[in-house]
Amino acid sequence: MQHDIHNLDRNVVGKLELDPEIFGSPIKEHLFYYVVNWQMAGRRSGMVSTKTRGEVSGGGKKPWKQKHLGRARQGSIRAAQWRKGAVIFGPRPKDWSYNIPRKIRREALKSALSLKYRDGSIVILEDFNLPAIKTKQVADFAKIFQIDKALIIINDNNPNLTKSARNLKSVKVLKSDGLNVYDVLRFNTLFMTKDSVLKVQEVLKG
């Protein structure tokens, strides 16, 4: 499986051999459901919270003595029946994440890459080096390749590209070790530098 390598001006500058086990594997779309749900569950914050009696401040002193006042006994003004007191059985922070087998995650990522390759939505770049941090450079790149929403995969740290693209909602930059099914499916076009392709093939084949 040979694929063209382009430069930033969209000129073909070479060829790269793609691993058919990764970019030509059977597309198992049912795995997308499991893996995307797993990713979304891991991103849920679960920060809803109420304070229990032990967490509400104050209330260390008994409001009044136990007997002989004609009033109901009270131990603390931070009990649930008091204003600004604790909440009984209220919502607490929850960890929504769970685990799925590593093999399923790998197969789903292979299927997502194969789907993009089948649809002709993968573009391999020789590199993506920018001389300076400037959003216009990435915007011009998007116009040259006539793209709507693009995911750019790089292999090493590239602060000029990362900072130049962060103000564009239609472009996202990821390192190869952060490649994931959700983002691959979410963006219309997948741009990968030559080094990132070799790295992804090495990891997914191992």
* pLDDT per residue as tens digits for the range 9-65: 889 999 999 999 999 999 999 999 999 999 999 998 888 899 998 899 988 889 999
d(CA 72, CA 69): 8
d(CA 143, CA 8): 11
Inside any domain, residue 170: yes
Structural domain count of the chain: 1
Band (152; pLDDT cuts 50, 70, 90):
very high
Task: Compute φ and ψ for 51, nearest 5 degrees.
Answer: -90, 135
Inside any domain, residue 91: no
Can you give the CATH number for the domain in which 152 is found?
3.40.1370.10
**Per-residue pLDDT tens digits for 50-105:** 999 889 998 888 999 999 999 999 999 999 999 999 999 999 998 999 999 999 99
Residue 206 above 80 pLDDT? no
Inside any domain, residue 43: no
Three-class SS state of 1: coil
CA-to-CA dists, residue 45 to 37, 73, 128, angstroms: 15, 40, 34
Domain containing residue 154: 2-28+108-205
Band (197; pLDDT cuts 50, 70, 90):
very high
Inside any domain, residue 195: yes
DSSP β-bridge partners for residue 88: none
Residue 128 above 80 pLDDT? yes
Three-class SS state of 139: helix
- With a pLDDT cut of 90, the percent of the chain lying above it is 80
In this prediction, residues 114-120 reach a mean pLDDT of: 94
Q: Which of 100, 118, 131 is nearest to 30 (CA)?
A: 100
Inside any domain, residue 83: no
Instruction: Provide the phi-psi class of 31: left if phi over 0, else alpha when psi is between -120 and 50, else beta.
Output: alpha
SS3 content of the chain, % helix, strand, coil (to 5): 35, 15, 50
Secondary structure of 65-122 as H, E, C letters: CCCCCCCCCCCCCCCCCCCCCCCCCCCCCCCCCCCCCHHHHHHHHHHHHHHHHHCCCE
Half-sphere exposure of 33 (CA within 13 A, CB side): 3
Inside any domain, residue 89: no
